[in-house]
Structure 1
């Protein structure tokens, strides 16, 4: 292959392209690519897992739930039973806090209940050391 830089040549005569021939370069790269693909280890489609041996664990027990309701007259109900006053509420919360597995405290307040009563129940439950306290039934106020 030759390169002709002579500009005085006949314009009808075909000139040889003056660019570099990259076909051998592409051939070498393709061969290297094929060799790389062949040398890659075959991937396994399985995952090795070590499963526990022995008897299956027992199913977890349902948590104990204490439902405290504050009705429209600001009276407290412990699982549907009326609570005489703040002292009795504190005693019941203290007894619940001392159980080996603390119960979940679900507090539900009526729409017309005073905020002070609900806040006092929340504060008393926290002061007695209960960890699982929640206010339920708030979805009716979202409307």
Structure 2
């Protein structure tokens, strides 16, 4: 609220100082004028339309492969060896829809062991291989 510096009444002024309002509005106008051309896409692309009659309900139950620090493998918490793992993954790769393979590994597991499991899954035709982690707290 503004006060008069010299006048007969000595009370508060009833007029609003609009200079700060005009300054803010001019800054906003300049910002919008600069950013508006950036909002349009310069390259026009015709996006494909959906070709599926029905969307698949799910991708099946995911397979969880656990790899311990010592290199032991577990298929959904059941112990498994690498040669049997390869044949079971080949069977799963033939299914439609193909299940996703999630790999859980100890923090101290050697990367070579994990890379061998991922390579085995990719070699037999598994399309989706993911890694399971715990979120930071």
TM range, smaller chain? 0.5 to 0.7
The list of structure 1 runs, each at least 4 consecutive aligned residues, that deviate by more than 4 angstroms after superposition, is none
**1:20 corresponds to which residue?**
none
**Distance in 1 between residues matched to 2:77 and 2:99, nearest whole Å:** 16
Structure 1 residue 110 corresponds to structure 2 residue 134: no
TM-superposed deviation, 1:58: 8.7
2:84 aligned to 76, 83, 88, which one? 88
- Deviations for 1:28-48, whole angstroms, at most 9, x for unmatched residues? xxxxxxxxxxxxxxxxxxxxx
1:64 to 57, 61, 65: 61
Larger Rg: 1
Partner deviation per Cα, 1:115-142 (whole Å, 9 max, x = no partner) = 11100000011111111111111646xx
The alignment of Structure 1 onto Structure 2 pairs a total of residues equal to 84
TM-score relative to the length of structure 1: 0.53
Aligned partner of 1:50 in structure 2 is none
Matches within 5 A, 1:1-143: 60-61=57-58, 63-83=60-80, 85-137=81-133, 139=135
| Unmatched 5+ stretches in structure 2 | 1-53
Show structure 1 runs of 5+ residues with no match. Answer: 1-56
**Alpha-carbon deviation of 1:61?**
3.6
Partner deviation per Cα, 1:77-127 (whole Å, 9 max, x = no partner): 0000000x2211101110110112110100011012111110000001111
**SS of residue paired to 2:92:** helix
CA distance, structure 1, for counterparts of residue 89 and residue 119 of structure 2: 11
Q: Give the TM-score of the pair, scaled to structure 2.
A: 0.55
